[in-house]
Structure 1
Amino acid sequence: MAQVVIAILANAGGVGKSTLATHIAYELGERKYKVAMLDLDPQRSLDVFCGLEAGDVASTMANVLSKDFKGDWIFAPAWSEFKVEVCQGHPQLAEVANDLVIRKRGEYVLADRLKKYPLSHDAVILDCPATLGMLNVNALAAASHLLVPIQLEMKAIAGSAELVEWSITTSDELQLEPRPLILGFVPSMYDDRIAMHRQYLKQLPEIAEQLGIKLYPEIRASNEFKNASAHGLPLHKYRPRHPGCKQFKKIVDDLVKLIKANRDK
């Protein structure tokens, strides 16, 4: 079975990557799909968002990317009622990233792991670090699709355009066939009380059209996202009637179409 592998990429921190990863994973779980989240961030963001205890290094992505990995994927269940699982991050991923630079096929280690030791999940979500280093190169090489959250500030918008250029250039350098497709931009942390946010949100459709990239509806800023993550829960479980729960539907609808198309191959 072909697999949908979504890398959530941004070249800045605090733009909502882990919020996006956990909420689309939860909604896919609600729709009865089996989802693996791979935390490539040394800061272990998904541990916080999924309410997980820190894992020892042998049970994390640091082990998966090590030279000694033998296919023993270890996952922690995110929410017991669904088949959503996390291969956790670890601070040692920073050292692993340095090691990948000098290893043969260092850019392709994650892709090689997923090919040699395939996962049974319908979708794999890669929660990436906030720098365009070797871990993100590995995510790019392993991904079938990319999802790019954008904070509504000039620096972030310019950075997202640079990220698109980086993904194209790096894909060419790695000779990726097929090249991962950019599923879309996701405006994040939108606050309509802020004039700058309103201004940039109006400009984004033209920018996305120029780049040939789909623009998803904005994810509105809410302290309830922070409150939910403090409890290790998605908003859907913390405040199921909150309007923010509906903001991920179009992204998940597209992911479901991809999963179904892959099943038919």
Structure 2
Amino acid sequence: MQVRLTIESNTGGSGKTTLASHLAYALAKKKLRVVLIELDPNGSLALFTGLPKLRPDEVEDSISCIFERQFKGDYPLVPVWEEHTKLVQVIRGGSPLHTAIRGLHLHERPYEVLKDRLEDYPIDADVIIIDTPASVEPMGLIALAAATHFIAAIKPEFKDSWSSSDMLNWFYEKVDSLRLRPRPEILGFVPSRVDLQKAVHRNLLGLRADGTTNDKIDPVDTIPYQLQQLEIPCFPHIKESGFFLSASGTGLPVHLYRPDDKITKSFDPIVKEIVKNLKK
């Protein structure tokens, strides 16, 4: 089966685009064909993949084109990192999406536009990863409707940990209201941008500064435990690293920017889970 994975968060700065771009390259290393779709008007994915940002009038080069009545399946796919892989393509979002958002009310099924397009005009890929903006609506909702699988990125700070419960409530509410059958499967939550020198990060994850479990912290107060009680998986954390910022400035994943750094292994558990679902 094809996995269509949406990466969502209801707070900014949670590392969604970092996660999306690095998962794409890591999956390509597994010989899987990956397409990244950006539903973010900010256009951050272009930076992370070394592509130029789009002008507001470049609708046909943006995912915005699917909101046009005359769309017939001509997705503006752009290959990236071609010197290293031929298996990753990007459909940029960016500023043209502002017009698409303003015109959503003109569609009979506004939140199912991407879902309907992918069903009517399938993209030939093993995995489609949908990168969303910080606000879950409307673009996060459009991504959810199109997805087969769902990941939430969270930063282990109090406002983010509280909002994770809101994220789950939003997920279940919207799955029901959109009558998604089958409903997207929650692969898990990903604590990202983690700095174990910060006490709040350690406490909310139940860890010591060296990354080992801190038995002095009551598990009840930790994010992984709270998710476990809801039968929601929590992936190992992805630490904050200056390499992510530096790599994004060159348009490369850290796998190519610093291939020997252990940070590149951070995405392996998620990749493993995605591959497992491809075989279902």
Same topology, TM > 0.5? yes
- Quick one: distance in 2 between partners of 1:41 and 1:85? 17
Q: Is the 8 A contact 1:41 1:129 kept in 2?
A: yes
The match for 2:204 among 197, 200, 203 is 200
- Quick one: distance in 2 between partners of 1:193 and 1:130? 26
Any stretches of 5+ residues in structure 1 without a counterpart? Answer: none
- Percentage of pairs with the same residue: 40
* 1:21 aligned partner: 20
SS at match of 1:115: helix
Q: Is the 8 A contact 1:228 1:238 kept in 2?
A: yes
Q: Deviations over 1:199-250 (max 9, x none)?
A: 0112012111122210100000111110000000000000001110000001
Q: Structure 2: which amino acid aligns with 1:28?
A: L
- Quick one: distance in 1 between partners of 2:174 and 2:102? 18
Q: Is the 8 A contact 1:10 1:130 kept in 2?
A: yes
- Quick one: distance in 2 between partners of 1:84 and 1:94? 26
* 2:213 aligned partner: none
What is the TM-score normalised by the length of structure 1?
A: 0.95
Q: Deviations over 1:39-58 (max 9, x none)?
A: 00001111000000234321
- Quick one: distance in 1 between partners of 2:143 and 2:253? 24
The match for 1:216 among 235, 258, 271 is 235
1:174 aligns with 2:178: yes
- Quick one: distance in 2 between partners of 1:37 and 1:87? 6
What is the TM-score normalised by the length of structure 2?
A: 0.90
Any stretches of 5+ residues in structure 2 without a counterpart? Answer: 207-221
- Quick one: distance in 2 between partners of 1:16 and 1:206? 22
Greater radius of gyration (CA): 2
- Quick one: distance in 2 between partners of 1:226 and 1:245? 14
- Quick one: distance in 2 between partners of 1:155 and 1:101? 32
- Quick one: distance in 2 between partners of 1:135 and 1:16? 17
The match for 1:100 among 104, 120, 134 is 104
- Quick one: distance in 1 between partners of 2:166 and 2:86? 36
Q: Structure 2: which amino acid aligns with 1:232?
A: G
* 1:65 aligned partner: 67
1:138 aligns with 2:142: yes
* 1:115 aligned partner: 119
Q: Is the 8 A contact 2:151 2:186 kept in 1?
A: yes
Q: Structure 1: which amino acid aligns with 2:25?
A: Y
How big is the alpha-carbon RMSD for the aligned residues of Structure 1 and Structure 2?
1.1
The match for 1:164 among 163, 168, 172 is 168
- Quick one: distance in 2 between partners of 1:255 and 1:75? 22
1:9 aligns with 2:11: no
1:188 aligns with 2:192: yes
Q: Deviations over 1:138-173 (max 9, x none)?
A: 111100010111101111111121011101001100
SS at match of 2:136: coil
SS at match of 1:137: helix
